[in-house]
Amino acid sequence: MPLQSHVQIGIVGKPNVGKSTFFAAATMIDVKIAPYPFTTIEPNVGVGYVRIPCVCRDLGVKDNPRNSICIDGNRFIPVELIDVAGLVPGAWQGRGLGNQFLDHLRRAPVLIHVVDMAGATDEEGRLVKPGTHDPLVDIEFLANEVTMWMVQMLSKDWDKLVRLVDYAKKPLLDVLYDRFSGLGITQAQISDALTKLDLDKKPLSRWSDDDMRGFVSMLRELSKPMVIAANKMDIPEAEDNYRRVVKEVGNKYRVIPVSADYELA
């Protein structure tokens, strides 16, 4: 019986990069895996375990806590993983499986972005010769899709928001919090994003498109941090790409080399 988990992690990426393989390796759940895009349509949900050293050795604790288990001095913390359909450019506007799939990620406070580091799939997930697609393009596109999905939520009935805040004097924080309710975003994160960009005092009626995008992009980084699983490291072309990706975006993301195929085997 898996333990209950209160943390949900979304596994995201373009189609055919190995999301379901990664999910299957982490949860030991048998799911459909195939070398073409949109193998997964309905999300797969399961529990995986994060292993950390247990405090029992230092503190002499004997009982297993209710939220995790200890085996031989290792603590296994359950996390719920959700493996969703692949995302193609323009998903936020409904392309591919689009919004429907993004909606499955609402509750996840952390995302694992599975990237085909071998560059063996094009931007829509079709197989191409290894080394022909640049994984940096995928990293940028995915963050952009999630941001635009959130921008769309914010900009809907924008005039109404402006009236509420600028004229009816409802606190900006409350109005934004309402707008993003359901995404598990906290007031502190919203407030942080506003102050970091000097937008906390600016009337909404004077926000430019860049202000809105900048704010949402910052809020996304704060509220849905992303880790990059650099997948298909078993393919020789992945090595150079991996080094380049770490050099280019290693200060922004944790990039972890993996081979989901090998892990699963």
Ligand X SMILES: Nc1nc2c(ncn2[C@@H]2O[C@H](COP(=O)(O)OP(=O)(O)OP(=O)(O)O)[C@@H](O)[C@H]2O)c(=O)[nH]1
Which residues are near ligand X by CB under 6 A? 13, 15-21, 33-35, 37-40, 85-86, 231-232, 234-235, 259-261
In the complex, what is the shortest distance from the CB of residue 255 to ligand X, in angstroms, rounded to a whole number?
Answer: 15
- Range list of β-strands (E), the chain: 8-12, 44-53, 69-71, 74-83, 110-116, 226-231, 254-257
Q: Which residues contact 25 (CB under 8 A, 6 or more apart)?
A: 260, 263, 264
Q: Which residues contact 85 (CB under 8 A, 6 or more apart)?
A: 15, 38, 40, 41, 43, 96, 97, 101
Q: Does 40 bind Mg ion (CB under 5 A)?
A: yes
Q: Which is nearer to ligand X, 40 or 223 (CB)?
A: 40
In the complex, what is the shortest distance from the CB of residue 136 to ligand X, in angstroms, rounded to a whole number?
Answer: 18
- Partner in contact with 113, chosen from ligand X, Mg ion, none, beta carbon below 5 to 8 Å by kind: none
Output the six-digit token pair for 210.
């860049």
Q: Which is nearer to ligand X, 189 or 241 (CB)?
A: 241
- Nearest partner of 146 among 7, 8, 10, 40, judged by Cα: 10
In the complex, what is the shortest distance from the CB of residue 118 to Mg ion, in angstroms, rounded to a whole number?
Answer: 17
Phi and psi at residue 203, to the nearest 5°: -60, 140
Quick one: which of 5, 20, 27, 223 contacts Mg ion (CB under 5 A)?
A: 20
Q: Does 147 bind Mg ion (CB under 5 A)?
A: no
Q: Which is nearer to ligand X, 217 or 259 (CB)?
A: 259
- Partner in contact with 239, chosen from ligand X, Mg ion, none, beta carbon below 5 to 8 Å by kind: none
In sign, the C-alpha dihedral spanning 20, 23, 25, 27 is negative
Q: Which is nearer to Mg ion, 18 or 183 (CB)?
A: 18
| Residues at the site binding Mg ion, with contacts judged by CB under 5 A | 19-20, 39-40
